[in-house]
Chain A
Amino acid sequence: MAEAKTSAKNRPLSPHLQIYRPTMTMMMSIVHRVTGAALYVGTLLLLWWLIAAAAGPNAYAGVQWFLETVIGRLILFGYTWAMIQHMLGGIRHLIWDTGRGLGPVEREWLTMATLVGSVGLTVIVWFIAYLMGGFR
């Protein structure tokens, strides 16, 4: 059994990341997975905020203080961007699922669009939230 395990580990592996020239679609595929994992952990911040609001004014003052520090604001901005980037990346995957947008020009264009779109939409969403009375 031990022998079988060793020989399994010594099998040749197919080429992996390091031998390929990085492309935009590859990088944004990685970004999609990384943002997904970050959002997974980020739910803890959302939970902290929700529980604090449900617990009462004192608990809420704590999370509010944190979110108003520079670090808190940066995390919140990063969280917003990760959410929107993962959403746009997901929409791109849904388009690809229909068999559309897979040509060499379209796929690069779609991929760039998710990045430009996520940065732009993050700023727009923060501006809308400000207009609705947030951040004052």
Chain B
Amino acid sequence: MSDHEPSSSMRTPMGRVRHLGAAHAGTKHFWHQRLTSVALVPLTIGAVILVLSLMGRNHAAVVQILGSTAVAIGLLLFVLVSAYHMWLGMQVIIEDYVHDELPKIAMLMGNTFFSCAVALTAVFAILKLSFGL
């Protein structure tokens, strides 16, 4: 229990014992969702046109274009910002629909694992295309 809790506090006795309150991070999730969404507008337009324009081309041409510096940097930005944005978004969906504690925590963990795996795999593939290892 906090020692600067006034005796006239509006907190319930159970609330005092649990000692949970505002996490002081209330707007961070909202703000990062907006921040990434603004960044994703030009990145998405570029990525969609790039990927579609490569459809039907042979492997050598695709590797050459994806591995070129400007395209690789743009694509890296797109996948990293996308992975963060979708991690934030899926977290909201899970919190809206999954109310039981254990499945909720399991799914939030799964969301983090999946989003990190997507980001890392895409980054690895793009770097491999660039450096030709």
Contact = CB atoms under 8 A, between A and B. Distances in A.
B131 to A, nearest CB: 10
Nearest to A136: B56
Contacts of B51: 46, 49
B59 interface: yes
B38 A94 contact: yes
Interface of B: 34, 37-38, 40-41, 44-45, 48-49, 51-57, 59-60, 62-63, 66, 79, 82-83, 86, 89-90, 93, 118, 121-122, 124-126, 128-129
A54 B128 contact: yes
A3 interface: no
Given A43-B86, A47-B118, A129 B125 contact: no
Contact of B82 (A43, A80, A94): A43
B56 A56 contact: no
14 contacts: A40-B89, A40-B90, A43-B83, A47-B125, A50-B121, A51-B125, A53-B62, A60-B59, A76-B52, A91-B41, A125-B52, A128-B49, A129-B52, A134-B53
Contacts, number: 100
Given A47-B125, A84-B48, A87-B44, A36 B59 contact: no
Which secondary structure dominates where chain A touches chain B? helix
A115 interface: no
A90 B82 CA distance: 13
Contacts of B54: 134
A125 B49 contact: yes
Contacts of B63: 53
Contacts of A47: 118, 121-122, 125
